[in-house]
Amino acid sequence: MGIVVVGTVAFDTVETPFGRGENVLGGSATYFSTSASFFTDVSLVAVVGEDFPDEHVQFLKSRDINTDGLQRIQGKTFHWSGRYGYDLNEAQTLDTQLNVLTQFRPNLPESYRDADYLFLANIDPDLQMEVLSQVRRPKMVACDTMNFWISSKPEALRRVLQMVDIVVINEGEARQFTGESNLVKAARSIISLGCKRLVVKRGEYGVLMFTADSVFAAPAYPLEEVFDPTGAGDTFAGGFMGYLASTGNLADDGIRQAIIFGSVMASFNVEDFSLNRMKFLEYREIESRFRRFKALTHFQGLPESI
């Protein structure tokens, strides 16, 4: 079985210098699962309210995402509003309405409990923990979070970070969580909690992956048109985990390739609002951009010294 993901399925209201989307489809689990579905089977754990249109559920199903774990309960769907200035790297949250998230009790379908790969996308860390405790023997667990949970539930978040193999987090959030302005020191501090790898997302500057004794750097794909960075981080994580789950290669070379697939997926997602670009993305485009990434970062080594 492929990946189980818990996270938000949301309505987003987003403003960028290039336009505005009101109550569009969003959420960390939505972006993650759509991206991962290009590589492997994905099973979703999330909650929506009575106001969530069936058309969005049909979109997830059209990507072959298993929605047995998507609960619909009384109340309104989680809603996030955010704004980006010309510096598209950092979202400014204008409003977060948790709505049905406060009533959510994840209860994983039996078929989800033997998942090999688990992604705890950005959501309340108590819910991340509840889901983690229901998956029997995952081969690999990764998680993400956000400033909202770092400030409101730091202790619960710390417990989650101690239980996972890979932490995927934004640069600013790594600094916020550790209180350390130097990124290398912040990375060391997060790794000391117990994870094997830390992937730091740096928007248009790409990603850095840290282990206790190594660093790997990947640039972001240079694009002329970036419309909406919302979901770039979750889309990155979906491509990263999706590729890992599809190959099962968790050695360093496989993980580095997965970082590039994640970066490729994020680069497509930012080309349009909401998940619009994902709706007509084809796998051959993904492979072709992966090859261009190789050319982008390849350089000749030094000759052997005599």
Residues lying near ligand AMP in the complex (CB under 6 A):
8, 10, 12, 26-28, 31, 80, 96, 122-123, 146, 148, 230-234
Shortest CB 122 distance to ligand AMP, Å: 4
Q: Which is nearer to ligand AMP, 80 or 117 (CB)?
A: 80
CA atoms of 230 and 88, how far apart (whole Å)? 9
Q: 3-state SS of 25-83?
A: EECHHHHHHHHHCCCCCEEEEEEECCCCCHHHHHHHHHCCCEEEEEEECCCCCCEEEEE
Angle at 187 between CA 181 and CA 189, to 5 degrees: 90
Shortest CB 98 distance to ligand AMP, Å: 8
Q: Which is nearer to ligand AMP, 231 or 262 (CB)?
A: 231
Task: Break the chain down into helix, strand, coil percent, rounded to 5.
Answer: 40, 25, 40
CB 31 within 8 A of CB 235: yes
Q: Which is nearer to ligand AMP, 76 or 113 (CB)?
A: 76
Residue with tokens 């000759």: 303
Region of 303 (left: φ > 0; alpha: ψ -120 to 50; beta: rest) is beta
Q: Which is nearer to ligand AMP, 34 or 305 (CB)?
A: 34
Shortest CB 277 distance to ligand AMP, Å: 14
Structure tokens at 180: 């350390």
Shortest CB 230 distance to ligand AMP, Å: 5
Shortest CB 150 distance to ligand AMP, Å: 10
Residue with tokens 């948790």: 98
The residues, any chain, with a CB within 8 Å of residue 246's CB and separated by 6 or more, are 2, 39, 40
Q: Which is nearer to ligand AMP, 81 or 257 (CB)?
A: 81
- Cα torsion 273, 277, 279, 282 to 10°: value is -170
Shortest CB 231 distance to ligand AMP, Å: 5
Structure tokens at 31: 């972006």
Q: Which is nearer to ligand AMP, 26 or 49 (CB)?
A: 26
Shortest CB 13 distance to ligand AMP, Å: 10
Instruction: Tell me the residue number closest to ligand AMP, measured at CB.
Output: 26
Pairing of strands 10-16, 19-26: antiparallel
- Closest by Cα among 269, 249, 254 to 201: 269
Shortest CB 233 distance to ligand AMP, Å: 3
Q: Which is nearer to ligand AMP, 234 or 272 (CB)?
A: 234
Region of 179 (left: φ > 0; alpha: ψ -120 to 50; beta: rest) is left
Q: Which is nearer to ligand AMP, 81 or 247 (CB)?
A: 81
